[in-house]
Amino acid sequence: MPNSKTHQQTSILVQAAAAACDDKKGVDTRILELDPMDSGLSDFFLVTSATNNRQAVAIADEIEMRLKRDFGVLPHSVEGRRNSEWILLDYVDFVAHVFLAERRAFYDIERLRKSARPFTVPEFDAELKSALAEKTREVRMKIASAASKRPSKPAAARNGATSGKARKPATAPSVKKAPAKKSASKKAPVKKTSASKKRSPRR
């Protein structure tokens, strides 16, 4: 499986669509990884079978609903929903085909795509998991390589830079004292003695 970002994103959508088929009891679900020289715009075909028309519609609806809910992706076009014998959901990078069993045998698109690489759903899940793990390892190696190429300062220069700066002694934070309130000392009122008071006559 190619390791490009776009291809892996499409693979995740295909995986979700295959899970939708499984939830709605699709039969013999297969994934075809198409040959780039033969595929045109699409990378994958998802093919599954239904036992009746109602189930075919239910599978197609579940694929459409799940990809919209989980990834915000809508099909470019949907065909065949009315007669429900072969419903095609075109997501450009992959196409989902929901067949009635007899129609699938009649058209046999798996045989027509001889250059495609076929997968069962478990095989596809394992392949995608391996590709994502490989991508993760590549990213981690790039990060580690970039970190090792960064120039580091010599230890002496680092020590000199730190020792050259004299550290100021730590001082306790000064606490501002609130200004003392001046107590206004009230003077007792002095009674004025009137000098003009006449002395009482002596008897």
Low-confidence stretches of the chain (pLDDT beneath 50)? 184-185, 193-203
What pLDDT score was predicted for residue 155?
Answer: 54
Q: Indicate the burial class of 98 (C-beta count within 10 angstroms; 0-12, 13-18, 19 or more).
A: buried
Per-residue pLDDT tens over the stretch 149-192: 776 655 555 555 555 555 555 555 555 555 555 554 455 555 55
- pLDDT at position 200: 47
Give the per-residue pLDDT at 31: 95
CA nearest 44: which of 89, 108, 104, 102? 89
Q: What own/partner pairs with CB < 8 Å and gap ≥ 24 does 86-91 have? A: 87/56, 87/57, 87/59, 87/60, 89/60, 89/63, 89/64, 91/13, 91/67
User: For residue 86, what pLDDT is reported?
Assistant: 97
CA distances from 10 to 2, 14, 42, 161 (A): 11, 6, 10, 53
CA-closest candidate to residue 94, choices 44, 128, 59, 30: 44
| Domain 5-146: CATH superfamily, name plus number | Beta Polymerase, domain 2 (3.30.460.10)
Q: What is the pTM of this model?
A: 0.65
